[in-house]
Structures are given as C-alpha cells and as structure tokens.
Chains A and B, each alone.
Chain A
Amino acid sequence: MTDKGLFLDTVSIALNGRVLLALTHHVLPGGVLTVMGPSGSGKSTLLAYIGGFLDPAFQASGRVLADGVDLTVLPAEERHAGILFQDPLLFPHMSVAGNLVFAIPSHVKGKAARLARADAALAGVGLDGMGNRDPDTLSGGQKARVALARVLLSAPRALLLDEPFSKLDQDLRRQMRELVFVRAREAGLPVILVTHDEADAEAALGPVIRIGE
C-alpha cells in the first residue's frame, strides 16, 4: 500500500462513552470518501478531529496519516487540512483579494507576487478582477467559489468538506460540486466529504460510509 493520500487508522470518536463513529479507511490522492449520516450523528466531528479543532468534550483516538505524516500529533495550523463549511465564511474584514492573499503560504515572498497569485486564483474560478470587492457584496455562488479558491491557494494536504453545497440552490449546487471535485482531482488532493444529500454522494464517485443509522 502506498503512503500517498489520507489514511484514517482505526479512528474512533466518542461522546460521554458513546461511540459515534469508528473507521479505518485509505483515501487516495484525488479520491473522495463520503461520510453520510443524519444531523446530530457526529459526522462533522470526524472532520474536526482530522482538522485539529475537535471540541474537548469528545474523546477521540486513532491516527490520521497524510502522505505518511501523522497529523494527530501536530497542532491544527501545521496539519494543512483545508476545510470548506456550509457557509463560505469569507473573512468579512478583508477584501476578496485579502482573503486569498491570507491563504497563500508565507514562503511565497513579495507583495506583488502574492497578489498576482491571488488574482490568478480568482480568474481560475471565473471571478476575474473581483479582488477589490467587499466579500459581503458577492452573490452566494461567488462567495462559495472564493472560498474554494482560498482553500486551494493554501496548498493543503487534504480537503475536508462539511456539507459545503447544502446552502446553495439546485443549479448552483451541481456546478459547485463539479468545480470542487475537478479541482481536487487536478490538485491530487484526498477529499473527505460529509453530507446528508444522496446526490452529493453520487457525484463524489467514491466509497460511502454511513454512520448513526
């Protein structure tokens, strides 16, 4: 078995002694693992555990290896697990370009170079020249694309999707789904998708794990 991708090694999460989920799974680069379950089943806690922001009320065990590196021993900021939530959560105090520049790793030096990258990323999601805009003035679909561009710019090891399409309307949802999966495949990112929408799971074209049923 290759080291590449995201390996969930006997991950188990419990609340007050009740086990919410337990799984072992290998997500290959560009592959998608879909975790489905009703609300309250604890499916989002899996992403919180991988990302390193699990509420201390939960008890979790097991390793998460990204390209062979154990993430669980690292602080959240060194895991490079990019996440997309239901809401785009663009930083409201920054411009659109500011949001993107914030995500670019610090080894990219020079203000102009960083800004150029941000502009290119914007163009890549079909939002050329919107860098100076106030994020609050964008439409829902535009915000979602900026959020995607932002997370991809940070060069993550994996992509964690927490029902990121559920607040978009039907048409937008389909477009956005396609955009996200295509981009993740291009970048060779292992993806974990948490959802309760069957259509999401079908579009993901990967294995599906159901919990809490």
Chain B
Amino acid sequence: MLTRLGPPLAMALLAGPILLGLAGTMLPAFGYLPALGGAEFTLAPTRQLFAEPGIWMSSIISLASGLVTTAVALIVVILFVAGWSGTRIFARVQHLISPLLSVPHAAAAFGLAFLIAPSGMIARLISPGLTGWQRPPDLLIVNDPMGFSMMAGLIVKEIPFLLLITLAALPQVDATRTRALTTSLGYGKIAGFLFGSWPLVYRQIRLAVFAVIAFATSVVDVAAILGPTAPAPLAVRLTQWMQDPDLSMRFFASAGAVLQLAVTAAALLIWIGFERLGAAIRDRACGAGWRWRRDAWLRRIGLTAMLLAAAIIFAGLATLCLWSFAGLWPFPDVLPETLSAKTWMKTAPRIGEPLVTTFIVAGIATLLAVLLSTLCLMRENETGRTGRRWALLFIYLPLIVPQVAFLFGLQLLFVLTGTIASLPALVFVHLIFVMPYVFLSLSDPWRAYDRRYEAIAAGLGKRRWTTLLGVRLPMLMRAVLTAAAVGFAVSVGLYLPTVLIGAGRLDTITTDAVALASGGNRRVIGVYAFLQMLLPALGFLVATLLPALIFRHRRAMHA
C-alpha cells in the first residue's frame, strides 16, 4: 500500500539530508575534501578559524542572542497566557497575533529597522518636538554592536510562534478547569498557572522551544539586517565565507559551521540548566504554598509586552508599505510629501523572475509536504500508533539542527552532483523545512476527526481512497488548506537554504530583499518586504475564503 511508504519516506526526507549534510560539513572542516585538494585530515582549518579576529565575540553574540531572545519571548508568553487566558481581551489579542506568524522574518526585521533607525518612524514622530532633531542623529541603533536591535527583532517574531504553540497545547492539559481549581484554592492567576498547568504545557512545547533557540543562535537574515557588523554573529560570517569565490575558503567555513553546531548545542545545554533551575524554584514556591494573589501588575506587564510585540510588527509593516510608495520624504516629516507608484514601476521588471521562482518552489514544496503528511497520518490511522516522542523528534530535527551546520555539506553534495542551483534541488531543500510545519499543523485536526464517518463510508461499500477524497479531505479542507498556507509561508520566508542551494542563480523575493539590506534604498526594500509579507497573506486568504465559498450552503462546515 502507498500509505506504508509515508513514514519511511518522511523520515528519510527529514533525517537523510541532515545526516548527509552534517557529514559533508564535518569532513571539509577537518581538511578532507578531495575535490578541492584536501586529501588528508588536518586541524589546519580549525586553527585558521580560531585565529580569525573576533571569532569568540561572534560566537558569544550568537549564544547570548539565542538564550536571551527565547527567555524573554517565553516569559512574555507565560505571563500573558497565565494572566489573561479565558478573558475577552485574550481572545482578541489571539486573533491579532495569529496572522503575524506568517510574516517572514526578514520582512519583520526590515519593519523594525524602519521604525527604530535614527531616521526611522519613531524618531520622526517625536522630532523635532521632543528631541529638537532637524536631521537624523548620528546614533548606531540598527546594527548596534551588542546586538540589541537584532534581539528585539527576533523576540517580536518568536512571541507569536511560542504563543500559538502554547495555545495549541492548552486544551490538551485541561487548563480551563485547572485554572478554576487553583483559583478556588486561593492561588493568584500567574501562580495557579505556573504550578497547575505550565509543567504539562511545557512538556508539550519543549521541542518547539528548542527550535526557537536553535534558530536564534544561527539566524542569518535577521542578523544581516539588524545585527552587529563588527563582528557579525557567527552564522552571518560563515555564510559570507561560504559564498566566497575562493573555494579554499570552504574548509574554513566548514570548520566555522562545526563551531556553530557547538554554539547551538551549548545554548541548548545551558537552557536545560535554566529548565532545571526554573523547575526547582517553582517547586520550592509551590511547596511553600506561595499563593501570590496580588499579581495584577505582572499580568499587566505581560499584556503590555504582548501588545507591544504585535504593535511593532504591524507598525513596521505599515512603514515599509509607506516607504514603497513614498516620493520625497525629508526628515523629520511623519508622512511623505508625495506618494507615487514610481518605485513599484521601476522595480517591477526585476521582480518578475524571483516572484515566479518563489511561487513555483513554495507551491511544489507545499504540495509535496501536504501529500507526504497525509500519507503519514493515514498510516498512523491504520496502525493505531503515532510513534509519539520519536516521531516528534524526527519532525523537529530540521528545526533544531542549525541550518548552516548541515546546509553547507548539502550544498557541497549538490555541487559535486552538478545539481546545484537547479529547481528540483531548491524544491527539495525547501521541502525539508516545510514538511515539519505542514505536518504539525495538519496532525491536530487530522487526529481530532471523527472516524465514525469513515466507518459509515466503509459500511456503504466505499473504497479507502474514495472515502479519503470524497469524505475526509473535503471535511478537513479548511485544515488542509491552512496547513498548506503555513507551509507556503515558511517556504516564502526561507533565506539561507535558498541562498546556498540557489547559489545566486535562483533568487526568490526573500533572498533579493535581504541582499538589498546593505544598499539601504528604503523605497526598493519597502517594495520587496511588502511583497514578502503579501505572499503568505494571500495563502491564508485562500485558505479562509475557498472553503467558505465552496461550503457556503453547509452550515456545519463553518464551525
């Protein structure tokens, strides 16, 4: 049966390229790469790496930003969920935040940069009234050496992600009744949540938290846009070395990728230490009967931080959009003097090709991921086994191993096989990252489906595929399309895999947008970043409107 192939195919897809890629990174890191004349193992690349100025600083920035951003984002999410779940504000904020998940990291980072730069929107709003600035001040805010603006950019994007996966876990731990129980025992909202629900919730979202840490320690696009430059975070420097036309730099870059692997592993280990510490403090407070009823101020901080994160992204995107249509816009005016479509007209001819590539790659990768996820979930129904923790680890693997660490090796394989910069190679690499998100978003509704409908269809004499196509998939259409929209958004936003495997010959909107970062033409960046956020939004629009239209006369399908 076809479904039998699902799980092994998915595992091969998720683990295979990562193992091959890691091998392809490790070997040159220790000097072995016959194609480039490296015939024996040597520590020379490692020595050369550690002689590189600022390499430790780069590593520390990467490590710190991974830990700090994840901790801040997670604390905001905990305070918000603990303090407000079950309230009307909570439901509203949830609806406000959900769409932010689909905004590509690069677009959000550009948005933040356009807000906080010395000539950015915030400075314009308070100048010259509060500041007296008639010209943009000479301050290094974006690209600050400590990486604060990079961390801010990561935090505002991590908050929606962590919030949504926490929300998905809440119903499974019966958080509503637990809250009623802890409240009746006299616990404040935050204490009640931390003692009653959080340990169970955290167990479910732990791998996702690890994925956030791994991403933040090794991110390239956000770091290139907002991060420090002297020295830049580790992954940014590695990517520059990797793209150096001098091929002997590969040994050196690969050694760096191994260092990145170590940095991310160290961040995860330190985080596990944090987990232990946090659990110990919680257990002590819990054991002491600490009720903490007067937590209103902390709850308000949680809400404020959540709203601030959303406001930053929305304001950033609005500013991007404004810049793309701006004519003359001198500082410190809050609005441009004229609006025009000139930038759009001028950029249009250049946009066509990357736009088509983006659509084709995202479309095919998403389609394949939906098919493969469906096969895996069908197989799960047949065997009655979900594979639980092991399966979940496989699914999270591409999100927890830092991208640079295995993409370097994978790129090498594509170079050696002559498939680099080909469309199939690019689709394949995108599929590795799209698959986990599609599977995770499809599996909950798939498992919640009432299987008695299938029993009925079988009793009516319908074959399995007829039942799948005629009953199950139509009933799950909204869930399938939403999962597809998530996958599409992930593919549109992928930067590093596209840069490395597209090798500069296959560009997408995202790679082109990030490449513009150093140039600093705000109007053109505005066009690209606006398109970057528009494409995922279109996907979600289709996922919402299409089922609503098809089933407009079927009331039960709107629930």
Q: Which residues of A contact B (CB under 8 A)?
A: 48, 51-53, 55-57, 75-83, 85, 87, 89, 91-95, 102-103, 105, 134-137, 150-151, 154, 156, 160
Contact = CB atoms under 8 A, between A and B. Distances in A.
B459 A83 contact: yes
Contacts of A154: 459-461
Interface stretch (B38-46, B446-454, B513-521): B446-454
Contact of A85 (B452, B461, B463, B553): B452
Contact of B555 (A137, A150, A151, A156): A137
B455 to A, nearest CB: 5
A55 B461 CA distance: 19
Given A56-B383, A151-B460, 5 more contacts: A56-B385, A82-B460, A89-B456, A102-B462, A134-B555
A51 B305 CA distance: 55
21 contacts: A51-B458, A52-B458, A53-B451, A56-B383, A77-B463, A77-B467, A79-B459, A82-B459, A83-B456, A89-B456, A91-B453, A91-B475, A93-B474, A93-B551, A95-B553, A102-B462, A103-B460, A137-B555, A151-B460, A154-B459, A154-B460
B458 A136 contact: no
B470 interface: yes
B384 A55 contact: yes
A79 B463 CA distance: 11
Contacts of B385: 56
A78 B471 contact: no
9 nearest interchain CB pairs? A92-B556, A76-B458, A136-B556, A56-B384, A136-B555, A154-B460, A83-B459, A93-B474, A53-B455
In the complex, which of the residues B451, B475, B556 has the most CB atoms of chain A within 10 Å of its own CB atom?
B556
Contacts of B554: 92-94, 134-136
B459 A102 contact: no
B453 A160 contact: no
B231 to A, nearest CB: 56
Contacts of B475: 91-93
A51 B459 CA distance: 7
Contacts of A52: 458
B460 A150 contact: yes
Main secondary structure of the interface of A (DSSP, over half): loop
B557 interface: yes
Contacts of B384: 55-57
B489 to A, nearest CB: 26
B556 A156 contact: no
A50 to B, nearest CB: 10
A176 B460 CA distance: 21
Interface string B521-559: 000000000000000000000000000000101111100
B464 interface: yes
A81 B459 contact: yes
Given A91-B471, A91-B475, A135 B456 contact: no
A51 B470 CA distance: 20
Interface residues of B, number: 30
B455 A51 contact: yes
B453 A93 contact: no
A94 B472 CA distance: 12
B279 to A, nearest CB: 34
B461 A89 contact: no
B452 to A, nearest CB: 5
Contacts of A150: 460
A79 B453 CA distance: 16
Contacts of A156: 459
Given A92-B554, A134-B553, A135-B556, A53 B460 contact: no
Nearest to A85: B452
Contacts of B456: 83, 85, 89, 151
Nearest to A80: B461
Contacts of B556: 92, 134-136
Contact of B459 (A56, A105, A135, A160): A160
Nearest to A50: B459
Given A91-B471, A136-B555, A77 B464 contact: yes
Contacts of A77: 457-458, 461-464, 467
A58 to B, nearest CB: 10
Contacts of A93: 474-475, 477, 551, 554, 557
A87 B460 contact: no
In the complex, which of the residues A76, A78, A103, A160 has the most CB atoms of chain B within 10 Å of its own CB atom?
A76
Nearest to A87: B452
B291 to A, nearest CB: 39
Nearest to B547: A93
Interface string B378-409: 00000111000000000000000000000000
Contacts of A102: 457, 460, 462, 470
A212 B477 CA distance: 41
A134 B168 CA distance: 31
B453 A53 contact: no
Interface in B405-441: none
Contacts of B555: 134, 136-137
Given A87-B452, A91-B475, A93-B474, A151 B461 contact: no
Nearest to B471: A91
A128 to B, nearest CB: 20
A94 B459 CA distance: 18
A114 B456 CA distance: 19
Nearest to A159: B459
Contact of A89 (B383, B453, B462, B477): B453
Nearest to A82: B459
A193 B380 CA distance: 30
A146 to B, nearest CB: 12
Contacts of B383: 56
In the complex, which of the residues B450, B456, B477, B555 has the most CB atoms of chain A within 10 Å of its own CB atom?
B456
Contacts of B453: 89, 91
B208 to A, nearest CB: 29
A197 B281 CA distance: 54
In the complex, which of the residues B454, B455, B477 has the most CB atoms of chain A within 10 Å of its own CB atom?
B455
B467 to A, nearest CB: 8
Contacts of A135: 554, 556
Nearest to B385: A56
A189 to B, nearest CB: 12
Contacts of B553: 95, 134
Nearest to B466: A77
Contacts of A151: 456, 459-460
